[in-house]
Amino acid sequence: MRYVYPAIFTQEKNGYSVIFPDLEGCYTCGDDLKDAIYMAEDVLAFTLFDYEKAGRSVPAPGELSSIKTLENQFVNYIACDTIEYQRRHNNKAVKKTLSIPEWLNEIATARGINFSQVLQDALKSQLGL
């Protein structure tokens, strides 16, 4: 899932703090602007992935123009992809039991096929990932 949310960047003495006004508890900081943007993408993906995993409804993003800022602040959209985030951070293996014909198992085993890899590749292809 891909999302785009407005974030408020506040210039601090040592870098930037970032908050997402539409998402409770979604905030971060960075040593400089580049780091703050990177961290904002990460915390946004983490927060929205947590919403998805918990089955919570994801709030709609607000409009950039409706956000008021102070002198040391600016607003920018931050984008994230929760599927990509999950790929990078949730690689815990899950055991699955499945059935295939015995003859197919024998041929695949004889040829040294990695069943787990074949299943992963097939699922990714089927899901368009």
Using an 8 Å Cβ cutoff, are 25 and 35 in contact?
no
Global confidence as pTM: 0.71
Distance CA 68, CA 18 (A): 14
pLDDT at 54: 92
pLDDT in tens, 69-103: 999 999 999 999 998 888 887 667 778 888 889 99
Each domain of the chain, given as residue ranges in start order, spans 2-89, 93-129
CA dist 115 and 98 (Å) reads: 11
Rounded distance, CA 1 to CA 3, Å? Answer: 7
pLDDT at 91: 67
Quick one: fold of 2-89? Answer: Double Stranded RNA Binding Domain (3.30.160)
Residues of the chain under the 50 pLDDT cut: none
- Confidence (pLDDT) at 2: 93
